[in-house]
Amino acid sequence: MSYQSLYDAALQDPQSFWAQQANQIAWFHTPPTALTRDEEGLYRWFKGGKMNTCYLAVDYHVEQGRGNQVAFIYDSPVTNTKKQYTYKQLQHEVARFAGVLHRLEVKKGDRVLIYMPMMPEVAFAMLACARLGAVHSVVFGGFAANELAIRVDDATPKVILMASGGIEIDKIIPYKPIVDKALTLSKHQPNHVVVLQRPFVLAQMQEGRDLDWNTMLYKIRKHPCVEVDATDPLYILYTSGTTGKPKGIIRDNGGHAVALKFSMKNIFGVDAGDVYWAASDVGWVVGHSYIVYGPLIQGCTSIIYEGKPIRTPDAGAFWRVLSEYKVKTFFTAPTAIRAIKKEDSEGLLLKQYDLSHFQYQFLAGERCDVATLEWLSNLLQRPVIDHWWQTESGWPMLANMVGVELLPIKPGSAGKCVPTYDVQILDENNEVLDANQEGAVAIKLPLPPGALPTLWNDTQRFIDSYLTAYPGYYFTGDGGYKDEEGYVYITGRIDDVINVAGHRLSTAAMEEVVAGHPAVAECAVIGIEEDLKGQVPVGFVVLKGGVDISEAQLEKELIQMVRGHIGAVAAFRRAVVAKRLPKTRSGKILRKIMRAMTDGKSFSPPSTIEDITVLDELNELMREHKIGVAFS
């Protein structure tokens, strides 16, 4: 079947389409209906279907005779470790760890927070939660104590699971001080913190609360899979929104499993037994969907890579892994490719490896510039596919579905709509724009299975943030346009979210921190384009009257504050002092105009602007500090 006929048929009757796809997974009880609406009017897929995601990802394959196939390959250049786990071994590990959680009285619906780097135990922990019907919330290791505390208070976990530390290239990051500090900041306290001690960094244990991971496993009884409803939450994953408070994206069990299974075959072109690798981190949605759940549900071999694209040990690291494990489909972020290109612009390191099994290269997580896509396509001589999605969707919304039909690749476009995403470009009056006209990227409701049903403990915020601006649609936060052939081009966020090295961050959260400096009267943090990371934040700061601090000292202190509150991953490394910021007469900072100025895009100042001459001042400041595409 061609892509177009598949897409058209699916969109004509999404319920039948997804009911059919639901037959691809092993339910304990088949769902009586595909799509329903709950008491708040929100869409829910497969309500009444009974299942267990861990069963689908692990036990099912053992029952089907795949027990001896490798489920996970752990490759850690930073610790010099390589290990493999078959599905049978994975079942053993996961069932035992579920036993540990059970002993700690974790039950269906309880939350478990996980703060760990890329190691197999993080996947065991996630799957063990799924096995019990407990809801995991994995927090990316690059976030600081304050961000962790916010998530602890929102998710109120019964237990925290952590490792004593991680390694960033050659730098040891001890995790325990971060968790301990977070728990002094949070109101909520977990009953226990279970610590996996790693040999290179020993965590100090707090008696009574902290438990040793390996000691807990001693003589533990394995725990079977618990039956959950399709609409029960599998996990909460916090992502940056337009305020300092992250959004708790909920993923349900049933829709998620059906959508991921569909995507593995139809988008990524892999079958059971194939090796699939997403070089991301379990702290991000890519790690949830395409390191852990998707590949396992499809019966693939997945790779847990604890390393970087460069310097572990060199820019050939990715090619080494692709070759060594015979990867068929590979997924990474454009930033990683730009980092490789910077170090090995001729791709000489690639020539050392046999990549004969490697078929498809997928890129996502941030906008992929044409130069990077073309450089990689020339180097690999294989399809390089940009595709687009977000934490909220949980799986791709736009792609080139190689498992169905490889369409011509148009550099700059993230592809065409995936069934049954109906991606439209809207103007501010909720009207669909003509081809090639740029507007807000929105999706006609209902969203397909797998996409978020709501936000954790905050349905009102879900409605306000996503469903209100464009009635009848889900608003993605991105801008873009569609060409005459239905290819969509994502041009970037049109809200206060930025994307730094494929990491989604909130400028509002950074502004909260910067505004907390005693010298700062007001500030705006804007994402500006950067060669390697795509975007980086820059703070524009107005000082309080009478304050005596040098710009360099202030910048140093602000950088430390953002690192301390949000984390190194924010990559906040620049702050400049402005006399004033552009504002409306009612005092609202015109960040959109500042973004347009730094991006070198045209804009028309609103009639409500307080004083238009501030724009000339700002332009001069950007020129002086070489900020923005026009001046860098």
Residues of this chain that bind ligand AMP (CB under 6 A): 239, 284-285, 364-368, 386-388, 390-391, 414, 476-478, 490, 493, 499, 504
CB burial string 528-551: b at 16+ within 10 A, e below: bbbeebbbbbbbbbbbeeeeebee
Instruction: Return the half-sphere exposure (C-beta side, CA atoms, 13 A cut-off) of residue 34.
Output: 18
CB of 88 to ligand AMP, least distance (A): 33
Interface pick for ligand COA out of 502, 539, 582, 628 (rule CB under 6 A): 502
CA distance 610 to 522: 16
Q: Tell me if 286 contacts ligand COA by CB under 6 A.
A: yes
Least distance to ligand COA from the beta carbon of 331, Å? 8
Count of positions on this chain that bind ligand COA (CB under 6 A):
25
254 lies in the site for ligand COA, by CB under 6 A: no
In the set 280, 301, 329, 454, which binds ligand COA (CB under 6 A)? Answer: 280
β-bridge mates for residue 482, sequence order:
488
What minimum distance in Å lies between the beta carbon of 166 and ligand COA? 5
Distance CA 379, CA 611 (A): 51
Nearest-approach distance from CB 391 to ligand AMP, in angstroms: 3
Q: Is 317 in the site for ligand COA (CB under 6 A)?
A: no
Q: Which of residues 100-159 bind ligand COA (CB under 6 A)?
A: 117, 141-142
Distance CA 103, CA 97 (A): 10
Is there binding between residue 593 and ligand COA (CB under 6 A)?
Answer: no
* DSSP state string for 306-344: -S-SSSSS-TTHHHHHHHHTT-SEEEE-HHHHHHHHHH-
414 interacts with, out of ligand COA, ligand AMP, none, CB within 5 to 8 A per kind: ligand AMP
Find the farthest-apart pair of alpha carbons in the chain and give their distance in angstroms, rounded. Answer: 74
Alpha helices in 104-119 (DSSP H): none
Query: Would you report the helix, strand and coil content of the chain in percent, each value rounded to 5?
Result: 30, 25, 45
What type of residue sits at position 607? S
8 Å CB contact between 319 and 343: no
The residue within the footprint of ligand COA, chosen from 120, 165, 166, 477 (CB under 6 A), is: 166
Residue from 568, 615, 621, 630 that binds ligand COA (CB under 6 A)? 568
Q: Which stretch binds ligand COA (CB under 6 A): 20-28, 246-254, 280-288, 478-486?
A: 280-288
- Pick one of ligand COA, ligand AMP, none as the site partner of residue 391 (Cβ within 5 to 8 A by kind): ligand AMP
493 binds, among ligand AMP, ligand COA, none (CB under 5 to 8 A by kind): ligand AMP
Residue with the CB atom nearest ligand COA in the bound state? 502
If one asks whether residue 339 binds ligand COA (CB under 6 A), the answer comes out as yes
- Residue 309 engages ligand COA in binding (rule: CB under 6 A): yes
| Distance between CA atoms of residues 496 and 491, nearest Å | 14
**Between residues 453 and 502, which has the closer beta carbon with respect to ligand COA?**
502
Give the interface segment with ligand COA, choosing from 328-336, 351-359, 373-381, 462-470 (CB under 6 A): 328-336
What b/e string do you get for 488-506 counting C-beta neighbours within 10 Å, with b at 16 or more? bbbbbbbbbbbbbbbbbbb
Work out how close the CB of 142 gets to ligand AMP at its nearest, in angstroms, rounded to a whole number.
13
User: Does the N-terminal peptide bond of residue 391 adopt cis geometry, omega within 30 degrees of 0?
Assistant: no
Which residues have C-beta within 8 Å of that of residue 70, sequence separation ≥ 6?
A: 84, 85, 86, 87, 301
- The nearest distance, CB 230 to ligand COA, in angstroms, is 26
| Min separation Cβ 237 and ligand AMP, Å | 9
Residue 623 to residue 625: CA distance in whole angstroms? 6
* Nearest to ligand COA of 156, 535 (CB atom): 535
CA distance 302 to 282: 12
Alpha helices per DSSP H over 384-530: 459-462, 507-515
Region from 60-68, 274-282, 369-377, 442-450 binding ligand COA, contact rule CB under 6 A? 274-282
What is the token pair recorded at 315?
């820019």
One-letter amino acid identity for 142? G
Q: How far is the CB of 229 from ligand AMP (least distance, A)?
A: 26
DSSP state of 589: B
Site for ligand COA, residues 390 to 449, rule: CB under 6 A: none
How many other C-beta atoms can be found within 10 angstroms of the C-beta atom of residue 170? 8
**Cβ 478 to ligand AMP, closest distance in Å?**
5
Q: Residues interacting with ligand COA, by CB under 6 A? A: 117, 141-142, 166, 168, 173, 279-281, 284, 286, 308-310, 332-333, 335-336, 339, 365, 501-502, 568-569, 571
